[in-house]
Amino acid sequence: MITVTMRNPEDHKDQIKYYIKPDDHALARAWVQALEEIVDQQLHLEKNYCHMGWPFPDRTIEYLCSLLRRHVEVINKFHYTGIWKQAGLEDHPITDNYVPDQIRWPATYGVAQGKAGWRPKDTVMNRLHNHFEVLQGTVENASKYYELADEKTKYAIRQLNNICHELESLMLSQWKWECDREWIRPSQITTFFNAKRYPLLDQYRYKFAENGYDRKFGHVYMHWCQIGKTLFEVFRDEGAPELDDATCEAITHLQYYSGEFDIEWGKDVTRYNDCPWHDEEQNKFETWLKDNGYDPADPDLSLGYLPIGKVDIEKSFGTDKRMDIWEALATHLDIYSIEVNGKTAIYDYSWSDIDFEQQQMKSLGYEVD
């Protein structure tokens, strides 16, 4: 068992634990070994990008927008130094104004068509993600913008991606809370600075076809530990476009795994079960893949999520009622410790600490004033 201790951000003595039982297959065993190494090295846990999809978190849309605007200001300030231009790079200022009204539709939008409002404005959010891709590049091939940036700007560029996904997750959960709240998608994204990555061997890839894009309550999945959009994200977020060379070059297929992991706390979404909209989406996705020359059965395309474990729900919470578990977790959204095979790491800090960004930059090896 892997033990995760959660604490109440407002009362650190108020703690709960949940227990993860790894699956019995080669990738799950490799993941446990990688996680044990992370815990042993006491790597920094990214607490500012951890609990996604809770509809009413302390990290509100207003707070996230203010954070995003501050990071954009840092990036634009470096842009206007002229260093990128002197290196022959195209101008790339970020001009969108990130306030709630500009990134999501109003509450009344789409109501006449039977849809609730508050959904994200995909055009704005896709443009934000594109800024990150251009400025960051990939782990294997960092962009020239990123290489020339100072450390403060590099940190700000990194935050574009994190905040973009956190905002999208929050807006979608608030939308679902209004229209069908049992389908909100809370989850835990457990990532660490400088976590070692390992090649995703062919022998691990069969799990893509076996699981597909199904997600189950309390199940643990391998975290996607590389940068770039997947085929499914392009299909879903960009309206199933006809793929051109430029788009194909930006698409990534998973090449690595690490000790990082995600936990699904939402209701089961499984194919051919009780989710006709999921079946319809997957059927359309497979048709789109074929139309664009891809084989949906090709494991190298990394189509899906890789299951690696399950939370022992009864042992952890004493109940299997999802709403009761949500209620318990919602007041304890701060990971305090992780224990793996007798090794424990303590994470006695919070995203709300005054010096949290300085802590993160120091963990990344940056100089801190």
Mean pLDDT of residues grouped by 10 in the chain (369 residues)? Answer: 95 96 97 98 94 92 96 97 96 95 82 65 91 87 94 95 94 87 93 95 94 97 89 84 73 92 96 90 95 94 96 97 94 97 96 92 87
pLDDT of the residue at 144: 96
Scanning 10-60, the segments in alpha helix (DSSP H) are 26-41
Q: What is the pLDDT of residues 149-171, one digit of tens each?
A: 999 999 999 999 999 999 999 99
pLDDT of the residue at 111: 57
pLDDT of the residue at 256: 94
Locate 209 and state its tokens.
């076809």
Q: Are 252 and 138 in contact (CB under 8 A)?
A: yes
Measured over the CA atoms of residue 355, residue 356, residue 359 and residue 360, the dihedral's sign is negative
pLDDT of the residue at 252: 84
pLDDT of the residue at 8: 94
pLDDT of the residue at 72: 98
Q: Are 19 and 316 in contact (CB under 8 A)?
A: yes
Q: For the chain, percent helix, then strand, then coil, each to nearest 5? A: 45, 15, 40
Q: Give CA 19 to chain center in angstroms.
A: 22
pLDDT of the residue at 137: 87
Amino acid, res. 55: P
Query: What is the pTM assigned to this prediction?
Result: 0.90
pLDDT of the residue at 112: 54
Burial string for 142-152 (b: 16+ CB within 10 Å, else e) reads: ebebbebbeeb
Rounded Cα distance between 168 and 170, Å, is 5
pLDDT of the residue at 227: 80
